[in-house]
Amino acid sequence: MALVDKHKIKRERLDRICEGIRPQIMKGCDYFVDMLILKDLATVAFCDAQSTQEIHEKVLNGTVGAMMYHTLTLTREGLEKFKVLRVIVWFCLLHDDVDIKAAVAVCNIPSTAMEDTAADSTICHILNMYRRNTWLYQALREGTWGQRVEQIGEVASGAARVRWESLGLIGFGGTQQAFAVPAKAFGFSVIFYNPYLQDGIQGSLGVQRVYTLQDLLCQSDCVSLHCNLNEYNHHLINDFTIKQMRQGAFLVNAVRGGLVDGKAFAQALKEGRMQVATLDVNESEPFSFAQGPLKDAPNLICTPHTACYSEQVSLEMTEAAATEIHRAITGRLPGSLRNCVNKEFFVTSAFWSVTDQQAIHSGIVGIPVTHNLPTVPTKHGDNREHPNEK
């Protein structure tokens, strides 16, 4: 495969997602609004595969763009199965389900509506743990109805008052800032840890900032996770960090399952070191109580990765994703994209010939899939003190 003089390249043509063809777009949702936006530009096909192994070869060979949910994880190996994939739009704020360094333009969908929905769900989970509504409902279904004081105390054992409790947030982005206001209204004393945020935000919201993860864990009655998952914070909640938490602390995780070491977490619940926890996400999804380290864990509530869901948000996100795909088709990559999260990793095709078709493999972004992409050094060392790299 021959390289050519980069000064002789008509680079703008290589930045096009397609030239004179009707591109095929794969979508992971079954809404109709995207069809209205893209009907004159592309062929849109629904695909509910849970892995690339389930995707038909024709789809892998022809898909130029994809609109995906978190149900499908795309590693570099998985991305290489797509022969002409150029852009992925992720239906969420986070994007750690896809390898952003694999030379495919990756976009997320920032949404204040999604932030509000996630904040609503998180505060509901926390209040449920404190007031134990799920356990009271189960007791009532089982015929346990406490009429005497001691019976009520037995059924509602563990119920606690919210006011003056310390709520610790790991991460403090838009969702958490939206979440801090109702949490304070319920009486929580809110503290947060985010090493990437500039000073000053805490004063405007009336919350307290701590500067180490250890300080947050040891000062919080309830810990809520709100950070991206990356190589530095995998299993951020582990046996070591759990031991730094207050005895009988609460935990809620509605962002990424990989932040929690399930084995250490389950053991802490069994031993009573952690009183109660709620997980909307799990490291292995779809989650099943019948298997895995959490199957016998007491005082645990799990929901099926739905903290950000509402019908209105889903329609808004689908429309926004289709609009971003529209920009990709009609413009150039990655410049025309509004929400591309990996421009620093997006490898252009400036060093590959346009005229010599033998010099261009039909791989990702016109670069041969076997080509070694340049490594990009991280600005942080292997420091587990940084849970939320941005």
Question: What does the pLDDT look like over 312-333, one tens digit per residue?
Answer: 888 888 999 999 999 999 988 8
Active site residue 305: yes
Considering all CA atoms of the chain, what is the largest pairwise distance in Å, rounded to the nearest integer?
Answer: 87
| Per-residue pLDDT at 345 exceeds 80 | no
Residue 350's pLDDT band (boundaries 50, 70, 90)? very low
Whole-number average pLDDT of the chain: 81
| Per-residue pLDDT at 362 exceeds 70 | no
Per-residue pLDDT at 382: 40
Among 132-136, 174-178, 210-214, the range with the most confident prediction by mean pLDDT is 210-214
Q: State how far the Cα of 233 lies from the Cα of 242, in Å rounded to an integer.
A: 14
Domains (range + CATH), the chain: 6-111+311-366 (3.40.50.720), 112-302 (3.40.50.720)
Active site residue 380: no
Per-residue pLDDT at 94: 63
| Per-residue pLDDT at 376 exceeds 80 | no
- Is 212 strand, coil or helix? coil
| Per-residue pLDDT at 21 exceeds 90 | no
| Per-residue pLDDT at 18 exceeds 70 | no
Per-residue pLDDT at 2: 42
Considering 86, 95, 125, 256, which one is annotated as catalytic? 256
pLDDT digit string (tens) for 257-290? 999 999 999 999 999 999 999 999 999 888 888 8
Q: Which of 108-117, 176-185, 348-357 has the lowest mean pLDDT?
A: 348-357
Query: Token digits for 213?
Result: 């993860």
Q: State how far the Cα of 346 lies from the Cα of 13, in Å rounded to an integer.
A: 16
Q: Beta-carbon neighbour count of residue 72 at 10 Å?
A: 22
Considering 11, 285, 332, 371, which one is annotated as catalytic? 285
Per-residue pLDDT at 20: 59
Residue 89's pLDDT band (boundaries 50, 70, 90)? very high
Between the CA atoms of 231, 237, 239 and 243, what dihedral angle is there, to the nearest 10 degrees? 140
Considering 86, 95, 132, 305, which one is annotated as catalytic? 305
Chain center to CA of 131: 28
Burial class (CB in 10 A: 0-12, 13-18, 19+), 14: buried
| Per-residue pLDDT at 92 exceeds 80 | no
| Per-residue pLDDT at 236 exceeds 90 | yes
